[in-house]
Chains A and B, each alone.
Chain A
Amino acid sequence: MERNKTATLATIDATSLHYRNLNAQLRDLVAGGTEKIIINNVYGQRYIGTDLNKPVEIEIHGTPGNDLGAFMDGPTVTIYGNAQDGTGNTMNDGRIIVHGRAGDITGLSARGGEIYVRDSVGYRAGIHMKAFGDKMPALVIGSTAQDFVGEYMAGGVLILLGIGLEGNQHKASFIGTGMHGGAIYFRGSIEEHQLGKEVGIAELSGEDRTTLTRLVTKFSRYFNCDAEGILKEKFTKLYPKYLRPYGQLYTY
């Protein structure tokens, strides 16, 4: 661990470092007032950034392990590489920017903050994201997602930009199954049979447009692409048709 004394920048070489030691170092650095931490040679260490609650910047070079930023509360984590499963699991606040792809259950139960993934994500991305008041998590995916994206969504915004999509066609099935809050915006085409039973299709409202523009502009800034070009094309909104998707299941 090297700490730059004048600026509040630190560098960690994560070679052969157990996640417990890595996270302990992060905790110490952040408690000591370090504002930016660069972690090099990351090879699958889990839980990076968990238990950090300040808006520090963390740069990861390599491949972080599962549960990156789980329960995280404020930092901005940029990954130059792919993220694995559970990225942003139950995250409360902060930002995760993945210059690559992310695995399954990206953004599971996120309660706030933003996740940007340049390429695609695995299964069940954005499952059970929530929102309340000014806490409004966002998951922006550059390309596409696998099955059950947006499952059980109770709030927040999920965007599929469809960049580089083969035949312009998303392949996920069961999109938004059990969705009862929040919104999914997508570019590219999705057939009706790919949607969960609880999801409706709509045109974007002015308010939807504002949200979309704000998030796509940020996405483009992070990954250096043409926001206007993306936003020019047609986006469609998926919304929960029912507040109570399973309200009719029971008899008293």
Chain B
Amino acid sequence: MKMLVPPKFRVVRDATRCIGCQVCVNQCSFDAHYYDAEDVVVCSRDENCVACHRCATFCPTGALTITRNPLDYRENQNWHREDIEDIWRQAESGGMLLTGMGTDKGYPIYWDHLLLNASQVTNPSIDPLREPMELTTYLGRKPDKVKISPDSLKLETEMAPQVRIDVPVMFSAMSYGAVSLNVHKSLARAATEMGTLWNTGEGGLHPSLYKYGKNTIVQVASGRFGVQPSYLHAARVVEIKIGQGAKPGIGGHLPAEKVSAEVSMTRMIPRGTDALSPAPQHDIYSIEDLTQLIYALKEATNYTKPISVKIAAVHNSAAIASGMVRAGADIIVLDGLRGATGAAPKVIRDNVGIPIELALASVDTRLRQEGIRNQASLVISGGIRNSGDVTKAIALGADAVNIGTAALVALGCHVCQQCHTGKCAWGICTTDLSLTRRINPEIGARRLANLLRGWSLEIKDMLGGMGINAIESLRGNRLHLRGVGLTDTELEILGVRMAGS
């Protein structure tokens, strides 16, 4: 069948600069460059280019530029290039469109409509360079009240397990298989260095990473890959994955191309098969069943670890979250519409779920109204891009945030949305050993730790500006937020006032 989809990008090679070294040929995992031995010249296959810029970054003479293919369709406000080409793709294959990363559609980013406060005259701001600033956060169930013995001054209340993180930013769940072992190593080392947590995702924990257990959240998802007693015991937190922002309500198929020998071992599935995660967990059909799995895991770990439950932010998240807390979850994780994935049907990624800002505000409000907000920590993810987003999320009610895409970008990801192909030229979202070598875990860990260090400094600066010296004092402190360009309904759901009011 004639393929109608034209190349999306054009590789522009400056002949005056190209020295024919073939670095681009070797770097491109999508075969967009090739060497023509007959004419002794390096050429391009534009149709294979995904604009990941691996070649342009590594071209020693700067001879390469990637541009959009200027092939324009006739102007049409209803039928955009993407709509037309998607139909062609499906007409040629009969399949579901698969994609990677978070949605690229222009849904509102509420962080960009929220502004933080600062102290002026009436109360002093704090200079974090000279004064201690506290970013320490404790995740886990908090008691309704604490009792201290008047004689010994010791705590009498029995506390649920608490996990201390030194910066309120953790790494999102990204499974081994979706990302490479070197990415897991980078995340684990960075989390250990920075006193925070990384998350195995649902693909199990490679044997070489058990030593990072104190900084590891292990996931129990519908596929139950790699879930064994030693895995649960190694972890700091055990997380039940119900859903993910990029694909609420559906399971996952890790394509066989990414099931390498080691992935096969870690997940306990045959080589050459797709790793299938069913849409539901078949032991959870209700809130009561969720209680059952939460307590199965508490029993399996002898009540020593907080149990986290992760859901995608959907229309009735607030009611679901209330059920989750009552079911016994110590931490609840909300993953918003803009959350990313290693592979998801495009139609789901781009159309299902709600923005994380609205979900966070409504869940926090609901849990407060019901007087149970203390019973679980609230972690959010799905589109956190910078420390400003982190600070606003905490002011809106989160205890901490998870970053996935931002962490991968720190490692070199160019957000080209080809994760599902397993060909990631940056060696991140692939298990091809010739590509995974492109991430050096030591350098990767340094880049990630640097990012968290930079964000910590910025968060402290913002806190100091507000006259606050501990992140705890900002949590849910929505008076430090004001909205711009929002409707009354949006302001009401977010629980913030209009800027100027």
Contact = CB atoms under 8 A, between A and B. Distances in A.
B7 interface: no
A157 interface: no
Given A71-B227, A108-B282, A132-B264, A50 B256 contact: no
Given A108-B282, A132-B268, A250-B98, A71 B273 contact: no
Contact of A243 (B227, B232, B256, B302): B256
A154 B222 CA distance: 13
Contacts of A244: 256, 272-274
Nearest to B228: A92
A181 B220 CA distance: 21
Contacts of B295: 46-47
Given A71-B229, A180-B274, A66 B292 contact: yes
Nearest to B267: A130
Interface string A222-252: 0000000000000000000001111111111
B276 A50 contact: no
Interface string A166-186: 000000000000101100000
Interface in A127-181: 127-128, 130-133, 135, 152, 154-155, 178, 180-181
Interface string A96-110: 000000000100110
Interface residues of B, number: 44
Contacts of A130: 224-225, 267-269
A105 B268 contact: no
A53 B296 CA distance: 15
A181 B273 contact: yes
Contacts of A53: 229
Contacts of A249: 95-96, 253
Given A47-B299, A67-B296, A251-B95, A246 B274 contact: yes
Contacts of A111: 224, 227-228, 268
Contacts of B297: 71
A142 to B, nearest CB: 23
Contact of B299 (A23, A131, A243, A250): A23
Contacts of B282: 105, 108, 124, 127-128
A13 to B, nearest CB: 20
A197 interface: no
A250 B296 contact: no
Contacts of A132: 264-265, 268-269
B8 to A, nearest CB: 13
Contacts of A154: 268-270, 273, 276
Nearest to B89: A251
A51 interface: yes
B409 interface: no
A181 B264 CA distance: 12
Interface string B58-98: 00000000000000000000000000000001101111111
A152 B274 CA distance: 11
A128 B226 CA distance: 12
A154 B277 CA distance: 11
Contact of B300 (A50, A109, A127, A128): A50
Given A90-B227, A128-B278, A248-B95, A243 B300 contact: no
B273 A180 contact: yes
A89 interface: yes
Contacts of A19: 299
A69 to B, nearest CB: 10
Centre residue among A132, A154, A245, A249 by max chain B CB count within 10 A: A154
Contacts of A92: 228-229
Contacts, number: 140
B301 interface: yes
Interface in B227-246: 227-229, 232
Contacts of A246: 253, 274, 276
A195 interface: no
A86 interface: yes
Contacts of A89: 283, 296
A85 interface: yes
B294 to A, nearest CB: 11
A27 interface: yes
Contacts of B283: 67, 85-86, 89, 105, 108
A149 B486 CA distance: 52
A73 interface: yes
Contact of B268 (A51, A131, A152): A131
B478 interface: no
Contact of B98 (A131, A181, A251): A251
Contact of B274 (A51, A128, A247): A247
B483 interface: no
A251 B1 CA distance: 15
A152 B224 contact: no
Nearest to A86: B283
A221 interface: no
Contacts of A115: none
Contacts of A155: 268-270
Interface string B298-337: 0111100000000000000000000000000000000000
A240 to B, nearest CB: 8
Contacts of B296: 46-47, 50, 67, 70-71, 86, 89
Nearest to A156: B268
Interface string B119-145: 000000000000000000000000000
B55 to A, nearest CB: 20
A127 B409 CA distance: 37
Interface string A25-63: 001000000000000000000110011010000000000
A111 B257 CA distance: 23
B223 interface: yes
Given A46-B295, A71-B227, A243-B270, 20 more contacts: A46-B299, A47-B300, A50-B299, A51-B299, A85-B283, A89-B283, A92-B228, A108-B282, A128-B278, A130-B268, A132-B269, A133-B265, A154-B268, A154-B270, A178-B278, A180-B269, A180-B270, A181-B273, A244-B256, A251-B92
Closest A-B pairs by Cβ, 4 of them: A109-B224, A251-B95, A251-B93, A130-B268
19 contacts: A27-B302, A46-B299, A51-B302, A70-B299, A71-B297, A89-B296, A90-B220, A90-B227, A108-B224, A108-B283, A128-B224, A130-B267, A180-B269, A181-B269, A181-B273, A243-B272, A244-B274, A250-B253, A251-B97
